[in-house]
Every structure is written in structure tokens, then in C-alpha cells.
Structure 1
């Protein structure tokens, strides 16, 4: 009887580990959308969260389109370097990170010009929460254990 029980436990355990992981449905749905559709959805989400007026929406749509184009270019570049399996030198890594930080500074300045002070504060809080969530998922994915984050940003 014990052997039968142990065998049943082993079979149940192996089948539960053998099941496929399902991709997040929202991610696959987003990949099916065109870049213009994704941009429009992002603009509408920001409009709801920040209560943007018409002129702010127009300016934000151009910013979102620019960011989307830059993101696609970076993804293509990353894919090309990943295929070549070439490691970046410390100087190349420094230049890349410096460029990214410069772009973030410019983005903050543009947002300060477009948004009111309350909207800007809310946008900055949203950005911090999103960054924290992404960082937490990356650490969790990398170490295969729950992340222990001390700082909020």
C-alpha cells in the first residue's frame, strides 16, 4: 500500500512539473498590435491617469511615438549584438549608459514643460513604481528566487 501511495505521489509530482508555462496573455496580445495602436493605448492610459488636456495629448503623442521608435531600434540593435555574442568593453558600456541617462534627463525636462506640477509629480511617481516593478521582476527572474528590494526606486 505504501509503495502504491509513493508511486502515485511521484506521478502527480512529475506531471505537475512537466506542464508547460503559459505566456502572459496581455503580453501576447500587445505583440499582436501595431506600433501605432500601442502608442494610442499608451496615450489614452496616460490621459486617464494624468487628466491630460488636448494640447498635452498632442505633445505626448509625439513623445510616445519617438520613444517607441527608439525602443524598436534599441531592441533590433540588442538582438544583433546578442546573435554575434560580442561582449561590450567598459568604454562602450559607459557610453551606452551615459547616452541612456542623457535621454532620461531630456525626457524629464520635456515632461516638466508639458505637464502641470501636480501631473508631473503623479507621472514621476508612476514611473518610479513601474521601474521598481521591472527591477523586482528582473532580479526574481535572474536569481530564480523572490527579490529582496530595500529601496523604492
Structure 2
């Protein structure tokens, strides 16, 4: 009886670990799919999501789409540069390069915020501001859960 119990416990733990491995490979597949999405498709998806959440007018929708398209094209350019450099140099970026990239990213976010403020009404902009922190909070909670699971393995 004890042997059956030990075997059953072993099978359940192995099954649980196998399922976690599948989830991780799925994340890699998603990131590869994101790389294949064109900037225009990204702009379409993001502007439609904002339209649903903020109830944008047709004119606002077009302006937001153009703004997101501009941002997506810039991000694609940086991604291609990074991938080209990745093949040449497999080292991590230096502190100066890292700080430069972070400053550039933050400057883009500030500029995006300013442009969105001109496009959206006061109520819509307030709702837009509320949307961002939630995403980061959820992401932080997911990362904590993920780190706990990694530690347990």
C-alpha cells in the first residue's frame, strides 16, 4: 500500500513539472510570433484596444493609430539593429549603452504621453493614465509568482 502511494505521488509531481515546461516553451513561441507582426498590424491592434477602452471618436482613432504606427516603426528599427549587433557581439551591453537605451526608451514614453494628451479629452486621458500602472502592477505580480515557481524547482 505504501509503495502504491509513493508511486502515485511520484507520478503526480512528474506530471506537474511536465506541464510547467510546456508553458515556458509557449512563451517563446509567442515572442517569435510578435517578431513577425508588422508595425501596421501592431498599430491597428493597439488603436482598436484603446478605442474600445476609451471610446475614441473616428478622428481620435486615426490620430492614435498614426502615433502608435510611428512608435512601432521606431521600435522595429531598434529591434533589427539589436538583432544585427547580437550576431556580431554576444556580450551584454555596457553600463553606458544600457543607460543610453533606457534614456531613449523613457524619452519615447514621455513624448508618447505628451502627444496622447493633445489627442485625448481630459476624461479619456485620465482613463489612459489609469490603464498603464495596472499593467505594470500585474506584470510585477506575475514575475513574483514566476520567480517563486522557479525557486521551488
Counterpart mapping for 1:7-86 below 5 A = 7-19=7-19, 20-22=21-23, 23=26, 27=30, 31=34, 34-83=38-87, 84-86=89-91
Q: Unaligned stretches of 5+ in structure 2?
A: none
TM-score, normalised to structure 1's length? 0.74
Structure possessing the higher relative contact order (Cα contacts under 8 Å, 6 or more residues apart): 2
| Residue matched to 1:123 | 128
Deviations 1:82-133 (A, max 9, x none): 4432222222222221111211111111111111111111111112212222
| Residue matched to 1:145 | 148
Given that 2:117 and 2:125 are in contact with CA atoms closer than 8 Å, whether structure 1 keeps it comes out as yes
Q: Unaligned stretches of 5+ in structure 1?
A: 147-153
Which structure dedicates a bigger proportion of its chain to helix?
2
**Number of residue pairs the alignment of both structures matches:** 141
TM-score, normalised to structure 2's length? 0.74
Name the CA distance, whole Å, in 1 between partners of 2:148 and 2:62. 43
